[in-house]
Amino acid sequence: MPKTLTMLNTIKGSLLEGFYPAGWDLRRMDRCCGLGLEGVTRRGKWWDRSFSPVPVRNVTELDRRMGDAIADEIESARRDKRQLALILPVGPMGMYRTVVARLKKSRTRCDHVTTFNMDEWSDAKGNTMPGNQPGGFEHAMKAALFDPLGRLTVPERQRNFALRPNLPTYTDKIGKIKAAGGRLVTVYGIGRVCHIAFWEPQLAGEYPLLAEWKRQTHRLGVALHPLTIEQNAITSFNSRLTLVPCFANTIGPGLFLQSDFCIGGADGAYPERGAMWQGMSLCVTLQYGPTPWIPSTWMPTMPGRLFFMKELAGPLEPDAH
C-alpha cells in the first residue's frame, strides 16, 4: 500500500484509466499545481516577451480589467482609423458590462469592428440552436454586448457567429482585415481541460505533425470532452447536465495563433467557499510548456495579458470540507 493515496498511483485499473487525453503527462501537470503564485507567474522561456499574467483580487477587478483591455483595443483602432477583428468568447461575461460603459462614455462607434464568436453549441453535424435560444452564445452576445451598445454597436453584417455555413468563412474575412492593415485580437477563457474555444485536447491525436495541427482553422461538430460538459453544466446551466449539448462548432489554432494580441481571463475560483474549478487549468497553461495536447499552453507564446484570480495560482493543496 503506498504511503500516499492519489490518482497518480491508483489510476491503473480504475475507470479513469484512458479517460484523460493520451498526451497528458499527469505528473508534469501535478508539478505545475504546486508552484504557487511566484512559480506560476515566473517567465517561461517559451513565453512571448510581450505576454504577462496578471493576478487580480476578485471577479469585479477581473471584469473591469478585461473590459478595459477590450475597450482600449476598440478605441485605439478607431483613433488610428484601422479595422479591428475581435474573436470573442461567451465566458467570462462580466467584462462586457465594462466594455459597454467605456464605449458609451467615450461615444466610440463600432462600425470599424468585426466580431467573430469563437464557438457555438451544435449537434454532431454542426447544426446549431436558434440564435434567440437562451443558453446559446448568439443570444448571450446580443444580450451582453450588442444590444446594450445601442447606436454605437457593431453593425449586424459585421457580427459573425460560429454557425455551420458561416464558421468556414472566418479565415477569409479575418485575412482581408489583416491584409488591409487591421489587427486581430482574441479574447479567451480557459476550459477545465485547457481548451481554447472548444478546440479540445483530444483533437491533437488526429494530427501526427505539429504544423498540421497549427493549420486547423475550425471544426464543425467537435465531440466535447466529458469534463467540458460537466464544467458547463456547473457554470452555464445551473448544474442541469441534461441541457448541455455534447458537440460544438469552434475555431481552431489556425485562427487564434494568428492573433496580434490576446486578452485572457480565469475567474473560476470561489474563495468564500474554499472551492475552485480552474486552478489546475491556469497553472498548467502557464508552466507546462506548449503542446497540442493542452491547447491553452500556446497562449503565453503570443503577445497579451492573462488576468486571473490570485487564488487560482495555488499552491493547490487538498482541503476536505
Q: Tens of pLDDT along 70-129?
A: 999 999 999 999 999 999 999 889 999 999 999 999 999 999 999 999 999 999 999 998
Spell out the domain ranges in the chain.
49-313
Chain CA centroid to CA 122, Å: 18
Evaluate whether 69 touches 104 at the Cβ level (below 8 Å).
no
> pLDDT at position 3, please?
63
What is the mean predicted confidence (pLDDT) over 303-311?
98
Helices (H) then strands (E): counts for the chain: 11, 12
Q: Which three cell numbers stand for residue 192?
A: 477545465
pLDDT > 70 fraction of the chain, expressed in percent and rounded = 99
What is the mean predicted confidence (pLDDT) over 33-39?
97
What is the mean predicted confidence (pLDDT) over 249-259?
98
> pLDDT at position 1, please?
41
pLDDT tens track for 151-203: 999 999 999 999 999 999 999 999 999 999 999 999 999 999 999 999 999 99
Instruction: Indicate the average pLDDT of the chain.
Output: 95
The H or E element that residue 186 is part of is strand 183-189
pLDDT classification of 214: cutoffs 50, 70, 90: very high
CATH code at 49-313: 3.40.50.1360
Q: What is the CA radius of gyration of the chain?
A: 19
User: In terms of DSSP H, where are the helices of the chain?
Assistant: 7-10, 26-33, 36-40, 59-79, 95-106, 137-141, 170-179, 210-214, 226-235, 253-256, 279-287
CA atoms within 13 Å, Cβ hemisphere of 106: 16
pLDDT > 90 fraction of the chain, expressed in percent and rounded = 91
pLDDT tens track for 222-237: 999 999 999 999 998 8
pTM score, two decimals? 0.96
Comparing 78-87, 144-153, 215-224, 273-282, the range with the smallest average pLDDT is: 273-282
pLDDT classification of 321: cutoffs 50, 70, 90: low
What is the mean predicted confidence (pLDDT) over 130-157?
92
